[in-house]
Amino acid sequence: MESRIKIIAGPCSAETRDQVLETARALAKTGIYAFRAGLWKPRTRPGMFEGVGSKGLEWLQEVKRETGLKVCCEVATPEHLHQALEAGVDILWIGARTTADPFAVQALADAVKGEYISLLIKNPVNPDVELWAGALERFMNAGVKDISLVHRGFSSYGNQIYRNLPLWHIPIEMKRRFPDIPMLCDPSHMGGKPQLLAPISQQALDLMYDGLMIECHINPDQALSDKAQQITPIQLEKILSHLTVRENVQDQQSLESFRSQIDSLDESLFQILSRRMEISRQIGHYKQQHNMPVLQSKRYSEIVENRSDLAESMGLDRDFAKSLMEIIHKESVKVQLDSPQVSAT
């Protein structure tokens, strides 16, 4: 793997000294850039493994001494940050749940003042480009110079192919606003399963991302968190050896790069359309239950007018927007009519 691409790999969580050291030794042989391990784990539900906490810092110090790898962990509070810096952790990352909380981000930015740190900022769990930009600005305002972003996908409701939707247009917008800030991809949290790691990683490299963060465990079946998505260091090596790195950094405006952007934006378009149709289906149920007609022409005219104004304000052609809304509306009515009859009992 070409060195322009920084690979950060390691377990979702540090669990035991042996698990950390064995994973790190195996990964060091693959030539990764840095070793990751979560010590304080933000868990969605209580009662799950919440990490080993500060005791894992010693294991990271051992990894650093023995393998020479840079080490990194997540910090969510000023207390974590001070402990990690004190222990010599080289890179800190802000997790997706923390990025979504401006109070927590500001508290960390205040705690960082005067310290030299390397920082990764994951996208917020919700698809809000302003929150992500806000977190970046809070740390830039605190004087942090070495910052990269990590695109790990966005939460959504319902069963999806992805654990977290890529919504590629959001990192593309961040890149447009902050062209000098490196962008990494975390295909592990995005895909949620090993089979998706290679295709997502390649898509990120085609979009000229600067690195990948991938969860690796010496024994994934025994992992205490994110078991379904972790791979072994050997599997990582295999995936990396099949990836193609686009070398033409100077030539970011190349046709290939434009095409990758179009492919990714089309994927986002269809993800959004699929969510829109799902809501239409729910509206279909609601109308059936309340004995309402599917077609409500006043609402339809309002939508077409309002969306045409919106599209025009974004520099799109008004007639194009109208035709597009007509096609979407036609499909939406079909979906509502097709939605299964709900029993009246």
Which residues form the interface with Mn ion (CB under 5 A)? 12, 226
96 binds, among ligand PEP, Mn ion, none (CB under 5 to 8 A by kind): ligand PEP
Smallest Cα–Cα separation from 171: which of 215, 122, 240, 229? 122
> Rounded to the nearest whole angstrom, what is the least distance from the CB of residue 290 to Mn ion in the complex?
43
Check binding of 149 to ligand PEP (CB under 6 A): no
CB of 13 to Mn ion, least distance (A): 7
Q: Which of 275, 36, 21, 44 is nearest to 150 (CA)?
A: 36
Which range, of 14-22, 78-86, 91-99, 256-264, touches ligand PEP by CB under 6 A? Answer: 91-99
Report the nearest approach of ligand PEP to the CB of residue 191 (Å): 12
Instruction: Determine the longest span between alpha carbons in the chain, in angstroms.
Output: 70
Neighbours of 234 (CB within 10 A): 12
Q: Characterize the bridge pairing of strands 34-36 and 70-74.
A: parallel
Q: Which is nearer to Mn ion, 64 or 163 (CB)?
A: 163
CA distances to 42, 88, 109, 175 from 169, rounded to whole Å, are 26, 36, 27, 10
What is the 8-class DSSP label of residue 196?
Answer: G
Specify the stretch interacting with ligand PEP by CB under 6 A; choose among 27-35, 93-101, 171-179, 254-262: 93-101
In contact, 104 and 98? CB cutoff 8 Å: yes
Closest approach of Cβ 117 to Mn ion, in Å? 22
Q: Which of 330, 329, 308 is nearest to 320 (CA)?
A: 308
The option from Mn ion, ligand PEP, none interacting with 287 (CB < 5 to 8 A, set by class) reads none
Choices 90-98, 101-109, 126-134, 172-180 (CB under 6 A): range interacting with ligand PEP: 90-98
Residues of span 231-250 touching ligand PEP by CB under 6 A: none
- The stretch among 64-72, 92-100, 289-297, 326-334 that binds ligand PEP (CB under 6 A) is 92-100
Which one of residues 38, 127, 191, 233 is an interface residue with ligand PEP (CB under 6 A)? Answer: 38
> Which residues contact residue 338 at a Cβ distance below 8 angstroms, ignoring those fewer than 6 apart?
284
In the complex, what is the shortest distance from the CB of residue 226 to Mn ion, in angstroms, rounded to a whole number? 4
Nearer to Mn ion, 227 or 242 (CB): 227
Is 122 near ligand PEP (CB under 6 A)?
Answer: yes
Give the closest residue to 60 by CA, choosing from 70, 47, 74, 51: 70
Within residues 185-204, the interface with ligand PEP by CB under 6 A covers 189
The DSSP code for 48 is: S
Among 96, 214, 236, 335, which residue interacts with ligand PEP (rule: CB under 6 A)? 96
**Of 120, 117, 69, nearest to 93 (Cα)?**
120
Please report where in the chains the tokens 């035709």 appear, as a residue: 323
Tell me how far apart the terminal alpha carbons of the chain are, to the nearest angstrom. Answer: 61
Say if residues 184 and 205 touch (Cβ distance below 8 Å): no
Comparing CB distances to Mn ion, the nearer of 48 and 310 is: 48
**Contact with ligand PEP (CB under 6 A): which of 12, 32, 72, 111?**
12
Counting contacts by CB under 6 A, is residue 14 touching ligand PEP? no
Question: Which parts of this chain interact with ligand PEP (CB under 6 A)?
Answer: 12, 38, 42, 95-97, 122, 152, 189
